[in-house]
Structure 1
Amino acid sequence: MDNKDLVQKAGSELFIDRDLGAIDRWWAADYRQHSAMVGDGPEALRGLVENVPADFRYEPVRILADGDLVAMHGTYYGFGPVPLVAFDVFRVADGKLAEHWDALQPAVAETASGRSQVDGPAEVTAPEQTEASRAVVMGFVEAVLKGGQADRIGEFISSEQYHQHNPAVPDGLDGLGAALKAWAEQGITVEYGTVHRSVAEGEFVLTQSEGLLGGKPTVFYDLFRVDGGKIVEHWDVVADIPESLPHGNGLF
């Protein structure tokens, strides 16, 4: 069983079948948690599952595997009054889920682009381009998102196609420019700091970063699709970094 299958099987048995024995089968005894929603270790996970509502469900859309990391992109229903779009990242060790990070953001009914926060291509079709895709995305993150070199956006993002799934940003380079200008006029600054990890497979690259949004500590999960050496699509989840967590491991 590969890591993708392991993560999917573990999640299905625990959250869909509500089989608490799945924790013993698929989670490491020293399971390390970074989520803001649950404490450390298998027992905290057991308590979470025992208390989720009967109508709780998760709808996965994308899954990427990169070495010992598996990233999932999908939507949770039943955690609150509105669905939550989420990225989950798991580290697999010795056939068990050993570590977990996530970020969740409320789903919205309408976005600036007319696309949903999760729709679009989902299957990896070009596994041979993994490292080339990662290089393009990391170049963009370092130069533009961290370095503030907005004049270099065209080096990394396609001028012919840029499909956007951020709720507030329209499609295209012009849409991105308009959104950045509007935020600046409102005094909303976006500052990327440390990029903690990337998960890449084929044409998809997910980055996990921390920084400031309007001066508030923020976690940024950005998923990019690369085609022809340029970024052609973007999804994200942006969430506040809370002052306290139910564990001592931090969000990263």
Structure 2
Amino acid sequence: MTSTRKKQIVTLLKGIETGDEDAVSVVNPEKYIQHNPETHEGGEGLAALFKRLSKTSPRVNIVRVFSDHDYVFAHTEYDFGSQRIGFEVFRFEGEQTVEHWDNIQPRRSPNSAGLSMVDGAVEVSDLAKTESNRTIVKSFVNEILIERQLDKLPHYINGEHYTEHNPNMGAGFASLVSALSDTTPTGSLKIQYNQCHRILAEGNFVLSVCEGFSGGIHSSFYDLFRVSEDQLVEHWDTAEAIVPKSEWKNNNGKF
């Protein structure tokens, strides 16, 4: 079931390239709940979106794909005339997906360490540690990202064995501390995590879905971590501004 669902989602996302309406057959249009506020609900809405996007000669690459019970989540790169990096999350009931969330941002140049937003490890391992790794990331998100207990960072991260893919950050511990401590001219934090909505995991990879503010703008944060020997050793992310509710094309909410 797990491998089949992953293949179905890869087929669905690759359908963006061709505009093939059959690619959305994995979607149950009678139950489908769309959380992208800029997309209409249902299989019909996706088919129309794919057909429109296909006219731009898009390119879709699924870099990583994971499964967590009824969820499949993927790390993706898109070229719709401009390059973007995204995370896609689907919830299944039986053989079809019935709910979708995503978080997409423009692709940025490699960071000061020369690392892109998508390169790095892709293979899933340590399946027996899925739940313990989920717990580690949940604690990290709560204690470090939300509560800002930065004195606890060494418990989660060994600076000598940490690889950072955020385009605005460099390698190592100091860059992470600086990013989490940076403030605006008015004294507020530039990046503020307020609430964690979901933690998804498969083996050594864990994705957190959070809400907060970036530069004072209401935003969603998706953070993918690779965990090894009970510490976070690699990190990828996307941040996306949440459009005002007056501009939503559905009423399901971003989260």
Same fold (TM over 0.5): yes
* TM bucket, shorter chain: over 0.9
**Which residue is equivalent to 1:161?**
161
Structure 2 CA distance for aligned equivalents of residues 178 and 11 of structure 1: 36
**Which residue is equivalent to 1:127?**
127
Structure 2 CA distance for aligned equivalents of residues 3 and 105 of structure 1: 25
Residue aligned with 2:243, SS: coil
Structure 1 residues 178 and 5, CA gap change in structure 2 (3 angstroms): same
Moved more, 203-212 or 172-181: 172-181
TM-score under structure 1 normalisation? 0.92
Indicate yes or no: 2:253 matched with 1:250.
yes
Indicate yes or no: 2:69 matched with 1:67.
yes
Residue aligned with 1:250, SS: coil
Indicate yes or no: 2:82 matched with 1:82.
yes
Structure 2 CA distance for aligned equivalents of residues 124 and 236 of structure 1: 18
Indicate yes or no: 2:116 matched with 1:116.
yes
C-alpha contact (below 8 Å) 2:162/2:172 kept by paired residues: yes
C-alpha contact (below 8 Å) 2:37/2:251 kept by paired residues: no
Structure 2 CA distance for aligned equivalents of residues 106 and 162 of structure 1: 24
Structure 2 CA distance for aligned equivalents of residues 193 and 108 of structure 1: 25
Equivalent residues in 2 for 1:22-41, closer than 5 Å: 22-23=23-24, 25-29=25-29, 30-41=31-42
Query: 1:184 is matched by which residue type in structure 2?
Result: T
| Cα distance, 1:177 vs structure 2 | 2.0
| Cα distance, 1:215 vs structure 2 | 2.2
Moved more, 41-50 or 65-74: 41-50
Residue aligned with 2:237, SS: strand
| Cα distance, 1:39 vs structure 2 | 1.0
Structure 1 residues 233 and 10, CA gap change in structure 2 (3 angstroms): same
Query: 1:239 is matched by which residue type in structure 2?
Result: E
Structure 2 CA distance for aligned equivalents of residues 87 and 9 of structure 1: 16
| Cα distance, 1:210 vs structure 2 | 0.3
Cα deviations by residue, 1:21-48 (Å, 9 ceiling, x for unpaired): 333x311022111113311111111211
| Cα distance, 1:54 vs structure 2 | 4.3
Unaligned runs of 5+ in 2: none
Equivalent residues in 2 for 1:1-252, closer than 5 Å: 1=1, 2-12=4-14, 14-23=15-24, 25-29=25-29, 30-52=31-53, 53-78=55-80, 81-181=81-181, 183-184=182-183, 186=185, 187=187, 189=189, 190-244=191-245, 245-252=248-255
Aligned sequence identity (%): 34
Unaligned runs of 5+ in 1: none
C-alpha contact (below 8 Å) 1:90/1:101 kept by paired residues: yes
| Cα distance, 1:10 vs structure 2 | 3.1
Query: 1:114 is matched by which residue type in structure 2?
Result: G
Query: 2:209 is matched by which residue type in structure 1?
Result: Q
